[in-house]
Structure 1
Amino acid sequence: MAATPLSTTDDMVTAKEIPSQQQQQQQQQQQQQQQQQQQQQQQQQQQQQQQQRYTTGRRWNHNDSPPTTPPPENEFQDLVVPSSSEPVDINADPLVAVIGVGYVGTHLVEVFSRNYQTLGFDVSAKRVLELRHIFAGYRGVSLTCDPSDLVRATHFLISVPTLLLPGNKVDTSYLRSALNTVAAHARPGSTVVIESSVAIGMTRDLLGPLAKLRGYYAGMSPERVDPGRLEPAAYAIPKVVSGLDDIVPGSLSAIVRLYSAVFDRIVPVSKPEVAEMTKLYENCQRMMCIAYVNEMADACRPHQIDPFEVCSAAATKPFGYMPYRPGVGVGGHCIPVNPHYLLSNGSFPLLAAASEAMNRRPAKIAERVIERAERVARKQNGGGKPRVLVVGVGFKAGQSTLSNSPGLALAEHLSVSGKVDVHFADPLVSQDVVPRIPRLDHDAWNRETLSSYSVIVVTVHQVGLDFALLDGLEGVDIEWWC
C-alpha cells in the first residue's frame, strides 16, 4: 500500500511547528536576556535587603534575634584565591597586619608592636610615607601599600573608616573593600578582627560568611582611643573582645590570646553584637549628655546665668553626676556618626532627638551671633557690615582634623548668610583646607586686629593662641564655648 501523502494543510502546520535556525537563535537570545534580567533583579533585591538591614529603624527587644539580612553565602566566591593555601601554623610567631592605618590604625600598630611583628597596610602611598617617618624608630614594624605583602600575616585587624552616605545611611564600602583584601591574601586559620565602629549585626553579616568560607577565626573588638587624650595609654584602656564562635569555634579564644599579650585588661563578651552595642552605647550616651548640657546652657541665657559656673558647681557632687560642658556641637568620626549606626536598625527616640538637635546647633548659634554682631556693629561704626572671628575650626582642642567640625560648621553658616564678614583663627588649620573662609594669620593675633571684630566666638581652646589678649577688648562681644 502506498503511503498517504501529507496534505497541504499538514505541510503548513509542520512548517509552523518546526522553527527555523534563525528563530531558534532568537529564542535562545531572548531566554539568555531574561535570565540575565532575573539575575540582575535578584542581585538588586539582595543589595536592597542588605541596605535595608541598616535603615529600617525597626524596634526589637532582647528576646528577638538581631534583625539581619545576611549576604548570600557566595558573596566572596569570586574573590581571588589566596596566594597561599597553607594554613597558619598555630605555633608560628604571629605577624599582625593592621588594615587601614589612620588615627585608630596608628595606635593599633604602636600597641601591637610592643609584643608582635606588626605590618601596617594602607591603600594610600602618601600615608605610608608619613607612617614610615612616624615609626622610624620602631623595631618590628613594617609599612606597605602593596597588598601582596599581607600573605605573610597571621592576624588581621581592620580599622578602616565607617562613614555615612547621603541621608545618614551606613556606608559599608570601606569595610567590604578591606574584607576583600583580607580574603585575597589571608590563609586558612588566620584571625580577623573588626576594630572599626559598625552597626549592630554588621560583623556577623559581613565577616561571618567569609570566616565560614575560608576558615578564619573572626570577631569584633571596638576601638576606644580618643584623639588628643594622652592618659590613659591605649594599652591601659580595657579592651572589649568578642568572637563568632557559633560560626567558627575557637574564635574568641584566638582573639583573647592575641590581645591579652598587649592590653592590660581584656573584657570578653558573649558575641560580636554585644561588642558592637557596647561601643555605640558608650559614644551615644556621651553625645546625648552633651546635647542635654547644651540645652541647659541655652536655658541659662535669659536668666543671665553662666552655664559654666553651673557645670562647675554641679561637678562637686561626688556621686550620680558626670561633668559635661556646653559647646557649639560635637565633631570627629565617632560621636556625630555613631547615633546613625544605632538608629539604622533600632528605635531610639531620645537619641534621634538629641542627634537632630546637635546637627542644628551650629546654625542656631550662627543666627544668634549674627543678631549680636549687628547690634555691636551699630555701636562700633554706625551699622557697617559686622565682622565675626571664629576661633578654632579643628573638631576639638589640639586637633587639625575637620571631620564634622562644629566650629567649621558655625563659620560656614555665618559665611553663607552674607550678613557678616567672617574669618577663622586656628594655628593647626591652614588656609588651603578651608579656602572659602579667610584665615587670620598668626601674626595678626594682636589686640589691634582683634578689636576690629564685632563678635569673637571661641569654639575650642586651640593651642598656640594667647587667649589673654581677649580680656578687656573694648566694644567686642566675646562668646566662649570652651
Structure 2
Amino acid sequence: MNKKTSSKLSILTEKIQTKQAVVGVIGLGYVGLPLALETVKNGFSAIGFDKNIDKINSLNQKQSYISDLLSASIQEAVDSKKFMATNQFELLQQADIILICVPTPTTADKSPNITYIEEAVMKIQQHMTEGTLIILESTTYPGTTREIIYPIIEQGGYTVGDNCFIAYSPERIDPGNRHFNVKNTPKVVGGLTQNSTELAKLFYEEALKTQVHCVSTPEVAEMEKLLENTFRQVNIALINELSKVCHAMNIDIWEVVNAAATKPYGFMRFTPGPGVGGHCIPIDPKYLLWIGQQHGVHVSIIDIADKVNGSMPQFVVERLTNYLNIQRKPLEGAKVIVIGVTYKPNINDTRESPALKIVQLLQSANCEIQIVDPFIEEVCNMRTVQLTSELIQQADGVVILTNHSNINYEMIDDNANFIFDTRQTDYAFSNENYYKL
C-alpha cells in the first residue's frame, strides 16, 4: 500500500469513526430513505438524492410518503440540520460515502434492467472526489459491482482500493415489518478490495449500529441476496401448489401447515396466498435465472415456482366463482367487495401485487367490484371506498386479498353473505359462509 492510498484510507476511516463523514444516498424509496434517516440518527450528516421532485418537496416539507415511516422521523432529521433532500446531483462531491439504492426491475423479456444503477454511477463518476467509498445496495445479479460499476468509475481516473473504494451490501428492508428494520437486521458486505470491505464494515457498524458479516467478494454478497428471495419464492410456490391439492381433497391446508410447524427442526413455516408481489420476490429470482443462463445453467425450479405463484390469481377467481355459485350467483354481474390491494399488509405499495391481477380478472368478467383499502385512494381506474355495513350487506360476497390490520373484520363477519379469505386473517370469523384459501 503506497502512502497516498494509506492517507486516503486513514482519512476516511477517521471521518467514519468521528461521524464527520457525509453520507450520500441515491434513491429515496423504501430502501434509501430509512437508511439515510438511520445514519442521521447515529450522528452522521446525510444528503438524499432523487430525480422525483415530488419526493424531494415532501421531504423538505417534513412529510413522509412511505406508509410505515412516520413524518416525525423526517422532521427530526431535517430539524437536526444533518439531512437534506435534493435532485442536484452535483452535490455528490460533498459526500464521503455514497450508497446506491435505486430500483432494479426487469425488462419485457424478464432480463435484468440495471439502467438505474448505470445512471447513478455515471453521476457519481462525474461529481465524486478522491477517497470516496461507494456501496451498491440495490439487488442485482452477481458481477454487477465488478463488471458494471467499477469500469465506469475507472473511466474517471480512479483506482479501486487506491483513491476510491467500492463494495456491495444488499438491502434487507421489509416494508411493514414491525420487528426487523434497518437498525436491527445484520448487513452482508463484500468489497472489491480488502480495504473496501473493511471501510464498508466500519461504516455500517457506526451508522446503523448493527452486525456486519463480511464475505470474500461482491459476487458472494450479490448471490446471497438472490438466494434470500429465491428461497422465499420457491417455498411460497410449494405451499401454494399444495393448497390446490388440499382443496381438491377437502383438506385444510392451514391445519396442515400448523401441524408441520410443530416440528422443531427441518421445517420452516410458509403460508399460501393469492400470489407474490412487491419489489423483491417476483423480480429477484429472475436475475438469478438470467445469470444462470449466461453461464449455461438453467435454474428450472425458478421457472416452475414463478408459474405456480403466477397461477394463483386465476385460482382465487375460480374459487370465488364457486362460492358465488353456492349463493346461486354467476360471476358476471355479481357484487363483490375486495378487501386490500397492496402486495402485503399495512403498506401503500401495489407493485407486482397479485391483488391487481385478481381485480383485472374480475373486471374482465364484468363482475361489479368495489375496493376497500385504507392505504390506497385509486387503483385499476377505480376509487377505493369506505367500508360500511350497508356496503357489505348489498354485496354478494367479500374477498380478502390483503389483510390490513386496520380493517373492521367484525363488521365484515356480521354482515357478509360469504367471506373468502385468501390470507387467513388473524380475526376469528364466525360467519357460517367463511371460506379459506
Q: Say whether the 8 Å CA contact 1:370–1:414 is kept in structure 2.
A: no
Q: Which amino acid is 1:95 matched to?
A: V
3-state SS, counterpart of residue 142 of structure 1: strand
Rounded to whole Å, the distance in 1 between the matches of 2:383 and 2:28 is 32
CA contact (8 A) 2:146 2:192 kept: yes
Residue 147 of structure 1: CA displacement? Answer: 1.1
SS of the residue aligned with 2:251? coil
Query: Could you tell me how far 1:375 is from its partner in structure 2?
Result: 4.3
* Other structure's SS at 1:219 match: strand
CA contact (8 A) 1:393 1:426 kept: yes
5 Å-filtered alignment, 1:251-270, equals 251-262=196-207, 263-270=209-216
Q: Which amino acid aligns with 1:221?
A: S
Aligned equivalent of 1:459, options 401, 404, 407: 401
Partner of 1:403: 351
Give the counterpart letter for 2:398 in structure 1: I
Q: How far, CA to CA, are the matches of 1:384 and 1:397 in structure 2?
A: 29
SS state of the match for residue 321, structure 1? coil
- The alignment covers a number of residue pairs equal to 385
Q: Specify whether residues 289 and 454 from structure 1 end up closer, same or farther in structure 2 by C-alpha distance, changes over 3 A only.
A: same
Give the Å deviation of 1:473. Answer: 4.5
Which of 367, 388, 405 in structure 2 is aligned with 1:445?
Answer: 388
Out of 264, 286, 291, the residue aligned to residue 318 of structure 1 is: 264
Match of 1:125 in 2: 53
**Structure 1 residue 389 corresponds to structure 2 residue 337:** yes
Q: 1:164 to 1:364 in 2, by over 3 A?
A: same
CA 1:233–1:386: 2 relative to 1, 3 Å: closer
Q: Which residue of 2 aligns with 1:63?
A: none
- Alignment of 1:468 with 2:410, yes or no, is yes
SS at match of 2:76: coil
Alignment of 1:39-58 (within 5 A): none
Name the residue aligned to 2:29: 102
State whether residues 122 and 145 of structure 1, in contact with CA within 8 Å, keep that contact through their aligned partners in structure 2: yes
Secondary structure in structure 2 of the residue aligned to 1:451: helix
Q: CA deviation at 1:478?
A: 2.9
Distance 1:383 1:417 in 2: 7
Counterpart of 1:351 in structure 2 is 302
Shift of 1:87: 7.2
Q: Report the 3-state secondary structure (helix = DSSP H, G, I; strand = E; otherwise coil) of the residue aligned with 2:276.
A: coil
C-alpha displacement of 1:305: 2.2
CA distance in 1 between counterparts of 2:186 and 2:131 reads 26
What RMSD over aligned residues (CA atoms) do the two structures have, in Å?
2.2
1:115 equivalent to 2:43? Answer yes
Residue 222 (structure 1) aligned with residue 170 (structure 2): yes
Match of 1:422 in 2: 369
Q: Given that residues 343 and 354 in structure 2 are in contact (C-alpha distance below 8 angstroms), is that contact kept between their aligned partners in structure 1?
A: yes
Contact 1:193/1:219 (<8 A) preserved: yes
Aligned pair partner of 2:236 in 287, 290, 294 = 290
* 1:371-382 superposed matches below 5 A: 371-378=322-329
**Is the alpha carbon distance of 1:186 and 1:384 closer, same or farther for their aligned partners in structure 2, counting shifts above 3 Å?**
closer
Distance 1:334 1:410, change over 3 A: same
Q: 1:256·1:266 contact (CA, 8 Å) conserved in 2? A: yes
Instruction: State how far apart, in whole Å, the 2-side matches of 1:350 and 1:125 are.
Output: 41
Q: Which residue of 2 aligns with 1:136?
A: 75
2: CA distance between counterparts of 1:293 and 1:383?
Answer: 27
Report Cα offsets for 1:67-90 as digits up to 9, x if no partner: xxxxxxxxxxxxxxxxxxx97953
Rounded to whole Å, the distance in 2 between the matches of 1:233 and 1:171 is 27
Instruction: State which structure, 1 or 2, has the greater radius of gyration over its C-alpha atoms.
Output: 1
User: Aligned pair 1:209/2:151, yes or no?
Assistant: yes
Q: Following TM superposition, by how much is the alpha carbon of 1:293 offset from its aligned partner in structure 2, in angstroms?
A: 1.1
Q: CA deviation at 1:115?
A: 3.1
Q: Which residue of 2 aligns with 1:368?
A: 319
Match in the other structure for 1:331: 277
Q: Which sections of structure 1, spanning at least 5 residues, go unmatched?
A: 1-85
In the alignment, the residues of structure 1 paired with residue 248 and residue 140 of structure 2 have an alpha-carbon distance, to the nearest angstrom, of: 41
- Please give the secondary structure, in 1, of the residue aligned with 2:271: coil
Query: In 1, distance between residues paired with 2:238 and 2:106?
Result: 24
Alignment-derived partner of residue 3 in structure 2: none
Q: Contact 2:101–2:137 at 8 Å: present in 1 too?
A: yes
CA distance in 2, matches of 1:371, 1:478: 11
Shift of 1:194: 0.3
CA distance in 1, matches of 2:265, 2:223: 26
State the 1:307 CA deviation. 1.7
Provide the secondary structure at the position in 2 that maps to 1:165: coil
Tell me the amino acid that sits aligned with residue 310 of structure 2.
N
Deviation of the 1:129 alpha carbon: 1.9
1:481 to 390, 414, 423: 423
Give how far 1:256 is off: 1.8
Moved more, 384-393 or 166-175: 384-393
SS at match of 1:468: helix
Of 237, 241, 245, which aligns to 2:189?
241
Conserved 8 A contact 1:101-1:120: yes
CA distance in 1, matches of 2:261, 2:324: 33
* Closer, same or farther: CA 383–412 of 1 in aligned 2, 3 Å: closer
Tell me how far 1:481 sits from its aligned partner: 2.4
Counterpart-to-counterpart distance in 1, 2:328 and 2:396 = 6
Contact 2:190 2:214 in 1 (8 A): yes
Rounded Cα–Cα distance in structure 2 between residues aligned with 1:367 and 1:205: 46
How far apart in 1 are the matches of 2:178 and 2:414? 34
In structure 1, C-alpha distance between the alignment counterparts of 2:356 and 2:412, rounded to whole Å: 21
Question: Following the alignment from structure 1 to structure 2, what is the Cα–Cα distance between the partners of residues 118 and 390?
Answer: 41
How high is the TM-score relative to the length of structure 2? Answer: 0.83
1:119-156: CA deviations, max 9, x gaps? 11111221012223142212222221111221111110
